Amino acid sequence: MTAAREGSDATVSPGQLDSNMSLHIEESTREDVLILTLTGQITFGEADDIRQKISELAAASHLKIVLDLKDVFYIDSTGLGALVGGYVTLQNKKGTVKLVNPNKRNLELLLMTQLHTVFEVFDQLDDAVNSSFRSVRADASTS
């Protein structure tokens, strides 16, 4: 996968990210689920970007979000805080944030911090997207 630099037609592979592009966020939609494909790192310097993006989407009533972490090579404690903040923002609006494709290091981080008990974590994007519809059907059948 390649990512376009903001304001440029050039592309770089995730392994070639530089300090000018610590985090790239690409939006796509499948069904009514918004997928944010993240490339780079989620650290102190980028945490506000992801927190702000999720807040803007929640304010615009995009309440089903999947964060694709396939190309996120590093998350620090501030980055984890931003992910949890996004989760709380959407939970308060009866929405969901699901994680997909964390690399081994990031999955270990989720396990070590017990955040795998907070977030639904998936190996496949299709599974994460489809789970949003199972949740809706389950909610409708219990009403």
Note the pLDDT tens digit of each residue in 82-130.
Answer: 999 999 999 999 999 999 999 999 999 999 999 999 999 999 999 999 9
CA distance 115 to 99: 11
Contact 34, 57 (CB under 8 A): yes
Portion of the chain with pLDDT greater than 90, in percent: 75
Whole-number pLDDT of residue 78: 96
- With b meaning 16 or more CB within 10 Å and e meaning fewer, what string describes 86-121? bbebbeeeebbbbbbbbeeebbebbeeeebeebbbb
pLDDT given for residue 20 in this prediction: 47
86 token code pair: 């996004």
Over range 13-20, report the average pLDDT.
45
Prediction pTM value: 0.80
Rounded average pLDDT over 59-64: 96
Name residue, tokens 């911090």. Answer: 113
Q: Give the pLDDT score at 10.
A: 36
- Return the higher-pLDDT residue of 63 and 5: 63
Q: Which residues contact 25 (CB under 8 A, 6 or more apart)?
A: 36, 37, 38, 39, 49, 50, 53
Distance CA 10, CA 81 (A): 31
pLDDT for 132: 87
Checking if the pLDDT of 11 tops 50, the result is no
Is domain 20-137 annotated with CATH 3.90.800.10? no
Flag whether pLDDT at 9 surpasses 80. Answer: no
